[in-house]
Amino acid sequence: MKTVQAEPDVDREIADVFAEAAAGANAYPEPMGDLLRGLVLRADPTGRDRKSNYIAFMLPAWIGERTGADPAMCRDLAVGNVYAMLHFFLLDDAMDGGGAGLEGRRSLAAGQLLHALFMERYGRHFPPDSPLVVLLPDVSGRMGDGRLRGRDCGGRIRATPARWRANRPR
**Can you give 98-165 as a three-state secondary structure string?**
CCCCCCHHHHHHHHHHHHHHHHHHHHCCCCCCCHHHHCCCCCCCCCCCCCCCHHHCCCCCCCCHHHHH
**Are 165 and 29 spatial neighbours (Cβ–Cβ below 8 Å)?**
yes
pLDDT for position 155: 37
Q: State the pLDDT at residue 99.
A: 65
Closest CA to 113 of 31, 36, 20, 26: 36
Residue 18 in contact with residue 82, Cβ under 8 Å? yes
Note the pLDDT of residue 38: 92
In order along its 170 residues, the chain shows pLDDT tens digits of 444 444 558 888 899 999 999 999 988 988 899 999 999 999 998 877 656 767 878 888 889 999 999 999 999 999 999 999 999 999 888 888 766 677 778 888 999 999 999 988 988 888 777 776 655 544 334 444 444 444 444 333 334 444 444 544 44
Q: What pLDDT was estimated at residue 57? A: 82
State residue 7's pLDDT score: 54
| Domains in the chain: boundaries | 8-167
In this predicted structure, what is the pLDDT of residue 35?
92
The reported pLDDT for the residue numbered 130 is 78
